[in-house]
Amino acid sequence: MSGIWGWFGGGSAAQKRKDSPKNAILGLRTQLDMLQKRERHLQNQIDEQDTIARKNVSTNKTAAKQALRRKKVAESTLETTLGQITTLEQQINAIESANINRETLAAMQAAREAMGKIHGELTPEKVDEEMAKLQEANDLSNEIATAITSANIGQPIDEDELEDELNALQQEEVDSKLHETGGSIPVHDKISLPAAGTGALKGKEKAVVEDDEEEELRKLQAEMAI
């Protein structure tokens, strides 16, 4: 569409300026192609006239001279053509380099503008300020988390009360087993009594053992007397 509007004088000036180097290069390359074709044609003429001159150098000197004249004219024209080709090639290279430089500069300018839009009014001072605010927010969050996890919600637990409740449960278990076994406690379920009570039991057991020994001793004495 832009090409069609270009034929009628439409299109923006910026687009025209952008297309101007391309159009110039296109025109130069078209002219260069024509000159290169002319170069090939002249070279063929030179070769052809040289062949004619060599063919008639001994038999027809007039024809040979005419061929040499045409050869000289073609060589002169070829030399001019080669100069034009060289000039056009230099112009094409110069325009292409200038266009590349312009496009490179435009890209760099676009990059600079993009960087400006991205950064906006951002400055190192504002970055430091935002980082400080972020650190404060993190510190506050940590303090809140610590306060929540360390808070003791509800009434404190009395360890002595727990111990009394545990002893009561143990006593209930003992009473239940006594009731089930008719008053006797299985060996593996006997509850250890306090140290003082244990000492008293051990004393009674020791007295019983001593009585048994005395009885055995009396029996032995009686047997020996017989």
How do residues 75-85 score in pLDDT, each as one tens digit? 999 999 999 99
pLDDT band at 47 (very low <50, low <70, confident <90, very high): very high
Ramachandran area for residue 71 (φ above 0: left; ψ -120 to 50: alpha; else beta): alpha
Q: What share of the chain in percent tops pLDDT 70? A: 71
In this prediction, residue 4 has a pLDDT band, given cuts at 50, 70 and 90, of very low
Predicted TM-score (pTM) of this structure: 0.46
pLDDT reported for residue 176:
83
CA-atom Rg of the chain in angstroms: 61
Residues 95, 89: Cα–Cα separation, whole Å: 10
The DSSP string of 125-177 is: HHHHHHHHHHHHHHHHHHHHHHHHHH---SPPPPHHHHHHHHHHHHHHHHHHH
In 3D space, the residue among 121, 95, 80 whose CA is nearest the CA of residue 28 turns out to be 95
User: Reduced to 3 states, what is the DSSP secondary structure of residue 124?
Assistant: helix
pLDDT score recorded for residue 165: 83
Could you count the other beta carbons within 10 Å of the beta carbon of residue 122? 10
Residue 140, pLDDT > 80, answer yes
Decide if 71 contacts 117 (C-beta within 8 A): no
Alpha helices in 57-123, H assignment, sequence order: 61-119
pLDDT-above-90 percentage for the chain: 32
Q: How far apart are CA 17 and CA 15, in angstroms?
A: 5
Question: From CA 114, how far away is CA 14, in angstroms rounded?
Answer: 20
Helix (H) or strand (E) holding 57: none
Mean pLDDT of all residues belonging to the chain: 79
Q: How many Å is the maximal CA-CA distance in the chain?
A: 188
Query: In whole angstroms, what is the distance from residue 89 CA to residue 9 CA?
Result: 30
Residue 28: per-residue pLDDT: 92
Question: Look-up: residue for tokens 């600079």?
Answer: 112
Q: What is the pLDDT of residues 151-197, one digit of tens each?
A: 666 666 677 887 888 888 888 888 888 877 765 555 444 445 444 44
Amino acid identity at 112:
R
- What are residue 174's phi and psi, to 5 degrees? -65, -45
